[in-house]
Structure 1
Amino acid sequence: MADPATYRPAPGAIPESPGVYRFRDPGGRVIYVGKAKSLRQRLNSYFADFAGLHPRTQTMLTSAAGVDWTVVGTEVEALQLEYSWIKEFDPRFNVKYRDDKSYPYLAVTMGEEFPRVQVLRGAKRKGTRYFGPYSHAWAIRETVDLLLRVFPVRTCSAGVFRRAGQIGRPCLLGYIDKCSAPCVGRVTPEEHRALAEDFCDFMAGNTGRFIKRLERAMRDAAAVEEYERAARLRDDIQALQRALEKQTVVLGDDTDCDVIALAEDALEAAVQVFYVRGGRIRGQRGWVVDKVEDSTPGDLVEHFLLQMYGEGAIPREILVAAEPPDADALAELLTEQRGARVDLRVPRRGDKKSLMETVERNAKESLAQHKLRRASDLTTRSRALQEIADALGLDQAPLRVECYDVSHIQGTDVVASMVVFEDGLARKSEYRRFSIKSAEGDVASIHEVISRRFKRYLEERSATGELGAEPAPDATDATASAADGAEGEGADPRTGMPIDPDTGRPRKFAYPPNLVVVDGGPAQAAAAQRALDELGVDDVAVCGLAKRLEEVWLPGDDQPVILPRSSEGLYLLQRVRDEAHRFAITYHRSKRSRAVKESALDEVPGLGPARRQALLRHFGSLKRLREAGVAEICEVPGIGPATAEAIVAALSGARDADREKAVSD
């Protein structure tokens, strides 16, 4: 590990001109490339205050053994040289964007004698026109199937094409007029190429002239009473219109632009691009990047634009979520590469701003999906669990973590959730949900749910005298009821886990966690610990995770445990907490929805909860029950004529009251 002071340039040796600099490691390999309006000011910032630099920048400096630079005349030249060096040396400390998945393109092989339409992924080939990218291959195939009615271009492979020519018989598409069958000479190579060029023009956004041409031909055919031909042309027009409908109209017909948005956290960023051509979204694509240097959103946008448009086609307008630091120079460079003016700007209002918000939502979703894929990595999960153990002072990594959250609206329909993560992964078969009886606040609810869960655990453990082992994979999800007792004995000979004699399955709460996490601060953590102490459970750790500053609270401590924002341990705790929150809200909403549905039947005398549920199960919904007559309601077991009449009267009265309220409003 090198000391940056050993290779710091001599005072006054660095010029004040614009330029590009390179840091090299002891072997002479370039590890970082950067540009600056003033080389002296920029490079001095690396060596002035080492302790104040970002940790990743510190790592780069200690990995380097020297720095050199090249002076250029303008900022545009600096951008060009920076891009060239990054492409040439591939420095490991520079931002590198990579596709977040393999996107399919609609490709037309114009370099062949008989162009072919197909779906392609991966590197682009010379002589092939590409459209997209699309999110799914099936979306391309649906579009192609519609367009082949009007532009019957070849879609078969080279082998099928040769065989059809040898036997003198086209494939099925040739017989149903979705291929012009150049393999058997129905059209000449020039005629088939003209069809392929028309296909490409339509996909490129020049759609109006084709529809107008078909409409004119349809009218001409109808005028001379060629009704069958007119009907076919009508169907062709409808096929083109359906193909256009699959591409969302978002802006004016003359708008060609790329819309670029990003979402980021301390470690990574996700970029999404929507390609708008002719006012329609023609495709989208995503990238993710590891933030190996301290970068602002504007810096990330600048690096992305240089890498994306270094060799690719550049539209006349580029909309970005954050303005790059050298926006004018970057726009000038892109204009020079395109050979025509390029507008680079941040949309502030109107339809373009709305579209930018949509792209930003897609970027956030892409980052969330990438994090989920990252969570499946065994090494990362192991590091996260060990970081949690070190931060909380545990003897070993918490292989089973349970998290609890409470959900309600102003103290009504109070519920709680319990989610389980084992070895850093969600174990949904072990999730549980609770209906809370004591609506005395979140702290009391946490105390109740922890007491009920571990009381059940102690009872099930005492049934066999075993602590229990890992649950069987088919353990069922169920709501914890008020009767948290357990009966019967026996254990699974394979796992040693207590078995319920009625179901033959492992008991629901027999396996204890290593760590209990509650959603909340010191009060919630203390309530959970108090519940465990009252039950004599002393081998389970407790902590609370507060949302406001993501602080980890231990019971009895006056100060929280602060995990670094880039910590994998904090990331895992956040995922566990968010999953518990989602599960609790889902149960609360379903419970509230059921209560609303049943409220109209509450006033019917003699109709208890069981018969209300029987009615709703029989009719499927309260709306169908309202439409039923007395005879139909009597078909439900346990419902007599008198009760049925009372139900009809109650529901019709509620309907009349709703109508009067609507009129008065």
Structure 2
Amino acid sequence: MAEERLINYVKSLPERPGVYIMRDQDGQVIYVGKAKALRRRVMSYFRHGGFASPRLRKLVEMVRDISVVRTATEAEALILEARLIRQLQPFFNVELKMSERYPYIRVTEEKFPRITVTRVKSGGGLFIGPYVRVRELRELLRLLDRFFPLRKCSIPIEPPYDRRPCVYHSIGKCLAPCAGLCSQGEYLQIVSDAVMLLQGRGADLVERLRRKMEDAAYNRLAFEEAAQIRDMIRAIWRVGRQSPSAHVGDEDNFPLLCSLQDILGLKVIPWRIEGYDISHLKGTSTVASKVVFEQGRPNKSLYRRYNLGDFGGDDFRALGEVLRRRFSRASEDEVLPNLILIDGGPVQLEFSLKVLSDMGLSIPTVSLAKGEEEEVYLPGKDQPLRLGEGSLALRMLQMVRDEAHRFAVSSHRENRRLRMRHTRLEEIPGVGPNRASQLLSRFGSVKNIARLSEEELMAMPGIGKKLARIILEHLKEGKD
């Protein structure tokens, strides 16, 4: 049983990532483990009176001392754990002590590459991983098997391609390059898509697939192919999702976005939504915000703030300015939004549409006005849509609008905070940030500096009679 001293020590551990090292009464290391939160993980050993596993019971009985090593991330803890186990060979560590490593996914270096799982990074090819969670790896492998028809066999594929396709080709899970039923370019394109998914570039892959789906559905009328691509996109979302939405309770945002498409009459599903809002202080220091939602979730790496200066409270001019800044430099290769959401009513919507039209852009745009009930304004519609409180489509629009408002207000507050830290001393000719800092450090405040005589001010290194006079005249004029 653990001593009271040991339990008290465990209670003092931080809820931070790290590695814990357990020793017996002779000081021998008997177990090394990693933790996302050290205190919670280590304390779990001492919360139970007994364990179903005899190995765990014996481990807890033998522990007499625990030490920890803090790491910055869980990934660093994983690496350190593996190194310590191989170095110390603790008795109760079985898997890594036997040199068992976490698995990687390997894309082989062949004319028609294969995707395999390995625990040893040797040989050629691309290695992706390691995968710590077996469930995550299995989901990826199931997804690859279902939607990426790459070969499973390891036979050499060289001309002449006269083999008979195997059963995997018959069930649609292999393009049969061995039988010459696909070109190398066609095969490598699918490999490229699979690598994008494995490298965590799911958003880029979804955008590529979205274009293929729209081409299949609207240009070639290949509805079955479009449906298959749609199913692939949905599966990628499920596997690649980093975190669940904090506001929309639906696990899969695909039905939500489809509902939004139907309600707004959009030609395509709004995979990418951009929301805009304006914030200012009595017409001054105007700040505009752009937030981006991809696949129904915020992508904060694409958020932008626009410092617009003083617009005299004219939100329309400010809105026009931010839209021009955003889209005037948009290249043909840039991903444009499928939907723009403006915080405001019909006038803001009409103004935004005119700005976009003047730039030669035709992007679906709506506005959301907050009153007694939410009103959605659509181009060419006299009356707004009033969606019920239970509408998932409305909740998505509200989430984008509220996030744009939050980001605009927080950006404005940050600008104000930075301005408050700026002293007018820096605006005096000959006084820069460093000299202003030295003056404030020595004399405490601008008021104290204004009370000084020229001689007292000249006592500061680097300040002569002329600069001392300029500083005092500036402060006495009430400019600070």
Task: Bin the TM-score by the shorter chain.
Answer: 0.3 to 0.5
Give the greater-gyration-radius structure (CA). Answer: 1
